[in-house]
Structure formats: C-alpha cells, structure tokens
Amino acid sequence: MGKPRIEEWTQLRGLAFFAIVMQHSIAEYIYRADIEPADSTMLTMMYHLTRFGTPTFVFLSAVLMFYNYSGRLHYFAFIRKRLETVYVPFLCWTFIYWLYVRVFTPSFWQKGGQDWGSLLRELVAPQTGYQLWFIIMIIQFYLFFPLLAALYRQARSGFELLEGRTRTRGVFALLAVTGACYIALLYVSYYRMGSWAANLGEPWAALLEYRSYSFLMYGFYFVLGAVCAASIANWRSWCTKLLPWSGLVFLGMYIRLGYDVLRRSGETVNLNISTYLKPSTFIIIVAQMLLLYGLLILLRERNKACLRLLSWIGTYSFGGYLVHALVIYVIAYFTRPLYLAGSHLSVTLLTFVLTVVASLGISYTLSHMPGGRWIVGAGRNRLRRGGAKNGDVRADSRAYLSANNR
C-alpha cells in the first residue's frame, strides 16, 4: 500500500507476545496442588506485569487496519484477504489442537473417533486451542471494518478542519467520552452480566456467557488504534510526554490489582479476579500500553540491537501465537507428573523461555515454506515486504479459566 513501516508497532507486538507466553506459562503452574505460597505470590506478581498482552494486540490490529486502509477499499477483496491470512490458519490450528488433545484421550479411539461434533464446537468457542478465541473476535472487527473505516475517515476530516490546540482538545475529549462509556460497559459486564446470564434463557444466556468473544467488548482499544493511526507524530509525542504519569498510574494499579487478587482468593489464587473485562484492569492495561510505547520511542536511537530483536520477534509473533499453546501442552506432558513444590517459579520461567524459542522457531520455519501463509498467516515474500499479520492470545489461563473471564 506504499506506506512506510512503523517499527515501534512491530516491536510493541514483540513485547505483547512475550507477555502472552508468560501469562500462559504462569497459568500452567499456578493452579497445581503442590505449589507453595511464596511461588504462588511471585507468579501472581509476574502475571500482573503482563496484563497488557492481548489488549495490545487488539490495539495493534486496529492501528494497522486504519493506517493501511485509510482510503476506500473493496469490501470482498479485503475480506477474502483477511480470511486467507487469518481465518484459514485458525481452521488449521483448531484441528491440530483438537486432534492433539484427543490423541491422549483413549476413550476417543475406543469409540472409533465418534467425537467430531466437538470439533465443530471448537470453531465457535475454542477450548483446546484456548488462545484461538482471539481469531473469532478479530474476524468480527474485519467484517465491520469497512463501516468503521468510513466513520474513521469522516471523523478525521472533521478534526482536520480544527486548529491545532482545538483539535488536540477534541481528540482528548473523544478519548475521555469513549473511555468513560467503555468503563461503564466493563462495570456492567464484570458486576452484573454474570447474574443476568443465570436468569436468562437461550440464546441470550450464551451470548452473555461468551461476551468476551465479542469485538464490542474491546471497543476502546479500537478507538485508541484509530487515534494513533490518524496522527502518528502526535501519538508519539503524547506517549513520551505522559511517561511519568503513565508510569505512576501503572505502579499504583499494579499494587492495587496484586493486593486485590491475593485478598479475594482462597487457598488457590484466582487470576480471573483481574480479568480483562474489569474496570481496574482496563486502567492498568492502558497505562502500561502508553508507558511501553513511550519507552520504545525514547530508546529507538539508543539500543538498536535490542529493538531489532524485538522487531524480528514481532514479525513472527502471529505464527508464534498460533503454536505457543501447543508447545506448552508438550512441556506440560512431562512436567505435570512431577512433584514441583518449591520450584514452580523456576519451572515457569524455564517453560516461558523454551516456549518462546520453540514457538518463534516453528513460526519462522513454517513462514519460509511454500504455503506458509495458510498455516502461520504470512509467507516468506510477505514478510520481506513488511511483516506478518498481527494476532493475539487469551491471557488469563488454560481452557478451564473461561467462565469468569467473559
């Protein structure tokens, strides 16, 4: 599309990938019966350092779409391209995860494999490939993107008619209003919708139960991405100027969320207390996103080797996202029978490192193979032109953490 590549977006995607892998590594060990309180507390503290992962991918999905498609687009060509590079890999990996879990379930084979209905359910509400829910959500954004892009162009044209300071105030007013509405939505979702679902019949109960699959529940991050795409220079300036304040807000909310989880949990830590669909979690996520973005801007002329590594990781992060849960499954096959009392923190860190290396290695290899775009979303030629498609993962835990996270 002829537009220059914005390096910090790829680097931020690399950081988000690290956060996502760490969250799922933590979720593999924090619920084990033999975990000691010290390890449980440390893993909870690490968990709240990584809450920005999935929402950052939502933000980056939006900013890339609005940046690359700011003009008019052909709807069917646009959707076809998204299906080829995002949904087809989803279908492929859904089957892989579904089959992997059943390979180790003897009853599946004893019944002659008569469990095919569960495969269809995985295409709607992924469980075995627990991170693949993001594809279901982001496809909704792609389907409605032409309409959203038209609204974006109209709003941008209106703001361009305003003078400098007035325009800035208008943008901040837009963010303030949408942010307040979003917090109200999260409040209702976290504190009210669960009881509503229990008192409603189908299909309304199911819609509320799986509300985290709706792209509307992440609406503010799409607005944030549109604002960033509309004026990258101003966005960079704002993020660097806000660094002290975003850092303080993040620190305060980090202490608040950690205390809240430890206070409200029983003998076993419940990470769902700080789900994405909670107002206080939203605050720490936005603060950390702005903080990291500002730091990337400040460091871009100081540590180029590290930033180049982050760019490489970000380029292959979508494939890494698709495969990383499978790598954790494989590692867990060997670690679950072990008695790990006193070692959960160290084993979690080891799992994180192995998963990052293996996932990126698999993603890199598949992306350079013929037909790689059908498996990891981008072939070798596409990567050379400007990077892989971005994606995301669910960041709360393994499949059994779904109910309270919606």
Per-residue pLDDT of the chain (406 residues; tens, 9 = 90+): 467 889 999 999 999 999 999 999 999 999 999 999 999 999 999 999 999 999 999 999 999 999 988 777 888 989 999 999 999 999 999 999 998 888 776 555 555 555 677 888 899 889 889 999 999 999 999 999 999 999 999 999 999 888 888 999 999 999 999 999 999 999 999 998 878 877 777 787 888 888 899 999 999 999 999 999 999 999 999 999 999 999 999 999 999 999 999 998 877 888 988 888 899 999 999 999 999 999 999 998 787 889 999 999 999 999 999 999 999 999 999 999 999 999 999 999 999 999 999 999 999 999 999 888 899 986 444 444 443 333 332 333 333 333 334 3
In 3D space, the residue among 43, 51, 116 whose CA is nearest the CA of residue 265 turns out to be: 43
Burial of 83 from C-beta contacts in 10 A (0-12 / 13-18 / 19+): middle
- Tokens read off for 270: 């419940």
In 3D space, the residue among 128, 147, 304 whose CA is nearest the CA of residue 222 turns out to be: 147
- Tokens read off for 400: 């059994």
Question: Is 372:378 a contact under the CB 8 Å cutoff?
Answer: yes
Q: Where are the alpha helices (DSSP H) in 7-71?
A: 7-29, 37-47, 53-68
Give dist(CA 3, CA 368) in Å, integer: 24
The total of other beta-carbon atoms located within 10 Å of residue 404's CB is 15
- Tokens read off for 349: 């860190």
Residues in contact with 52: Cβ distance below 8 Å, sequence separation at least 6, in sequence order: 16, 19, 284, 285, 288, 289, 292
Q: What is the pLDDT of residue 203?
A: 80
Q: What is the pLDDT of residue 398?
A: 38
CA 312 to chain centre: 18
Give dist(CA 269, CA 185) in Å, integer: 26
Question: Is 144:71 a contact under the CB 8 Å cutoff?
Answer: no
What helix, strand, coil percent values describe the chain, rounded to 5? 75, 0, 25
User: Residue 74 phi/psi, 5° resolution?
Assistant: -85, 115
Q: Check residue 377 and give left, alpha or beta (phi > 0: left; psi -120 to 50: alpha).
A: left
- Tokens read off for 52: 């920005």
User: Residue 4 phi/psi, 5° resolution?
Assistant: -65, 150
Question: Is 277:190 a contact under the CB 8 Å cutoff?
Answer: yes
CA 153 to chain centre: 26
- Tokens read off for 92: 């492929």
User: Residue 128 phi/psi, 5° resolution?
Assistant: -65, -45
Give dist(CA 221, CA 376) in Å, integer: 24
Q: What is the pLDDT of residue 379?
A: 46
DSSP 8-class letter at 179? H
∠11-27-43 over CA atoms, to 5°?
80
Question: Is 290:349 a contact under the CB 8 Å cutoff?
Answer: no
Question: Is 58:321 a contact under the CB 8 Å cutoff?
Answer: no
- Tokens read off for 175: 């963010």
∠43-10-375 over CA atoms, to 5°?
85
DSSP 8-class letter at 114? -
Number of H helices, E strands in the chain: 20, 0
Angle between helices 279-299 and 7-29 in degrees, nearest 10: 130
Q: Enter the pTM of the model.
A: 0.89
